[in-house]
């Protein structure tokens, strides 16, 4: 994972579309001051650079002295943002509402408070229809200020109405704030630990979050309160590995948006996140047909609306769509087909990483999925390359679960390659790592014991060893706390491939075909 620091102005320039660059040039050349001419020249050089290089930049701009560069870059940054605001006001309802509030403030400062109230009234209707509760409250508070300082000859009940409206918005904002805090806490638990590991973990999660969720559910009435409640429940049940209830809430999340299509336009990112959670839980449930159906829906929605997406929304499409495609290959056992697709994906992932458009958590997940796909297709060398990236990454305790299972798969890939001399050392190393992470469960212990035995066994002794391990692990496949091992690593299919002496891809593919017959 790249730790390279990117110049923020360079990063902003490189994020611009052709239309945004053209708009900036028009905006920036509205007057011809010497300062403007300099920062336009700076913009042109930055736009042509493939990587930021300050020395080359100053050589190409002799009219700019080194000591001037910092101020000039800061000015250019502000000008680009100002030009972007002109474009994005048409795409972002909150920017449009804020502009109306700003206009109302200007009119009020000029003593035109009746005109100001009219602007605020229009802005409030937009805020209401788009569920922009914080901006709605800001408008109401501004209206209260005007009404308290001037005789506007409004309705007799105006003061009471505004007071009640303000109180209601405060209640809603508090409810949404509590739910987003709760969602963030649950997400933080998952990012650090993944799924629950024991009955003790389950009890901690349930006692910490269930009372808060029940209380929030009782109060949730507005659109965003209901959406964020679904989000909280999705994380809660996902951590607890209760995938049917997780699916129910992810489905409700998406359906709420479909029932309110105007809200899809207002917050497309939140809609895309709902789809992502729906697709993810369908993978966990093994529902390949439904996964394919909803992925097609997701792709169709993207094709129809991508021209209106922000860069952030496009990044989400990359993350969510490709995660679902990985999962589809895994469920269908189509690993050879997936390898063909993988070469283009890896190039895109590298670009996303270099330009810091993807976080360490997502990169870690993609590395693991790439490794699993290579391993399942029989390409252990490439699998090891990506597993080593995870093992050698400096991400602290981020996604301890991924780090643990990457090491387990790392051992198995080395076993497949016949690196037995190395394995003896690696088994001890992994055992120590898992013990340190307090993640050494029954399944992992049995696999480690098996690998130690297999290293010193004769070829004719191996098949019974594989059979014994498979039969032993099958007992844990549906255990509430041990089953998580099988979510990360399809160890049963690997063992069956060794017993039957066929590729692991063939075993998984046959299981898929039996499910859909």
CA pseudo-torsion sign 364, 365, 371, 374: negative
- Residues 6 or more apart whose Cβ sits within 8 Å of residue 174: none
Asked if the model's pLDDT at residue 289 lies above 80, the reply is: yes
The mean-pLDDT minimum among 165-174, 187-196, 250-259, 309-318 falls in 187-196
Lookup: tokens for 242:
């209760």
> How many whole angstroms separate alpha carbon 420 and alpha carbon 40?
62
- Local structure of 131: helix, strand or coil: coil
Mean pLDDT, to the nearest integer, of 203-227?
94
Q: What is the pTM of this model?
A: 0.81
Top pLDDT among 89 and 223 is at 223
- Local structure of 120: helix, strand or coil: helix
Phi (first) and psi of residue 153, to 5 degrees = 55, 35
> How many whole angstroms separate alpha carbon 493 and alpha carbon 466?
11
Lookup: tokens for 501:
């002496």
> How many whole angstroms separate alpha carbon 273 and alpha carbon 266?
14
- Local structure of 111: helix, strand or coil: coil
Asked if the model's pLDDT at residue 373 lies above 80, the reply is: yes
Q: Mean pLDDT across the chain, nearest whole number?
A: 90
Per-residue b or e along 467-504, where b marks 16 or more CB atoms closer than 10 Å to that residue's CB: eebbeebeebeeeebbebbbebbbbbbbbbbbbeeebb
Q: DSSP state, 457?
A: -
| Digit-coded pLDDT (tens) for 302-359 | 999 998 888 889 999 999 999 999 999 999 999 999 999 998 999 999 988 887 788 8
- Residues 6 or more apart whose Cβ sits within 8 Å of residue 6: 52, 355, 356
The helix, strand and coil proportions of the chain, stated in percent and rounded to the nearest 5, come to 80, 0, 20
Mean pLDDT, to the nearest integer, of 183-191?
90
> How many whole angstroms separate alpha carbon 405 and alpha carbon 245?
26
H helix or E strand, kind and range, residue 479 = none
Whole-number CA gyration radius for the chain: 28
Lookup: tokens for 175:
């409810």
Cβ distance 363 to 406 under 8 Å? Answer: no
Please tell me the predicted confidence (pLDDT) of residue 353.
87
Mean pLDDT, to the nearest integer, of 270-275?
97
> How many whole angstroms separate alpha carbon 482 and alpha carbon 206?
18
Mean pLDDT, to the nearest integer, of 146-169?
81
Which has the closest alpha carbon to 245: 272, 213, 201? 213
Asked if the model's pLDDT at residue 156 lies above 80, the reply is: no
């Amino acid at each position: 994972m790249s730790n390279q620091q990117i110049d923020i102005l360079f990063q902003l320039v490189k994020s611009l579309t052709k239309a945004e660059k053209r708009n900036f040039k028009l905006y920036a050349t509205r007057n011809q001051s010497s300062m403007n001419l300099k920062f336009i020249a700076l913009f042109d050089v930055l736009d042509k650079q493939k990587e930021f290089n300050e020395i080359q930049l100053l050589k190409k701009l002799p009219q700019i002295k080194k000591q001037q560069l910092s101020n000039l870059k800061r000015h250019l940054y502000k000008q680009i943002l100002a030009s972007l605001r002109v474009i994005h006001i048409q795409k972002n309802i909150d920017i449009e509402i804020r502009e109306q509030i700003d206009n109302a403030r200007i009119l009020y400062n000029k003593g035109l408070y009746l005109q100001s109230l009219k602007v605020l009234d229009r802005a409030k209707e937009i805020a209401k229809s788009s569920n922009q509760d914080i901006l709605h409250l800001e408008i109401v508070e501004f209206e209260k200020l005007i009404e308290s300082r001037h005789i506007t000859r409004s309705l007799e009940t105006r003061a009471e109405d505004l007071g009640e409206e303000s109180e209601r918005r405060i209640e809603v904002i508090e409810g949404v704030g509590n739910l987003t805090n709760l969602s963030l806490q649950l997400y933080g638990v998952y990012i650090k630990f993944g799924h629950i590991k024991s009955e003790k973990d389950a009890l901690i999660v349930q006692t910490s979050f269930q009372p808060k969720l029940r209380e929030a559910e009782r109060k949730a009435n507005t659109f965003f309160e209901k959406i964020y409640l679904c989000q909280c429940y999705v994380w809660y049940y996902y951590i607890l590995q209760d995938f049917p209830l997780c699916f129910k809430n992810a489905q409700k999340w998406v359906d709420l948006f479909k029932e309110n299509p105007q809200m899809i336009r207002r917050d497309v990112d939140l809609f895309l996140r709902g789809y992502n959670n729906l697709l993810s839980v369908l993978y966990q449930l093994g529902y390949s047909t439904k996964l394919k159906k909803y992925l097609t829906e997701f792709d169709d929605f993207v094709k129809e609306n991508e021209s209106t997406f922000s860069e952030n929304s496009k990044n989400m499409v990359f993350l969510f769509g490709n995660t679902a495609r990985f999962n589809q290959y895994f469920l269908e056992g189509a690993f050879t087909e997936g390898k063909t697709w993988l070469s283009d994906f890896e190039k895109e992932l590298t670009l996303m990483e270099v330009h810091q458009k993807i976080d360490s958590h997502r990169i870690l997940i993609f590395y693991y999925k790439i490794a699993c796909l290579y391993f399942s297709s029989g390409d252990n060398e490439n699998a090891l390359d990506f597993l080593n990236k995870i093992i050698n990454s400096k991400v602290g305790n981020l996604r301890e679960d991924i780090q643990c299972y990457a090491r387990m798969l790392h051992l198995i890939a080395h076993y497949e390659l016949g690196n037995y001399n190395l394995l003896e050392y690696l088994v001890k190393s992994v055992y120590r790592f898992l013990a340190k992470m307090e993640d050494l469960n029954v399944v992992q212990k049995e696999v480690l014991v098996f690998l130690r035995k297999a290293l010193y066994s004769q070829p004719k002794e191996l098949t019974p060893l594989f059979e014994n391990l498979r039969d032993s692990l099958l007992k844990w496949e549906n255990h509430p706390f041990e089953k998580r091992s099988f979510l990360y690593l399809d160890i049963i299919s690997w063992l069956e491939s060794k017993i039957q002496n066929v590729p692991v891809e063939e075993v998984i593919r046959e299981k898929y075909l039996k499910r859909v017959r």
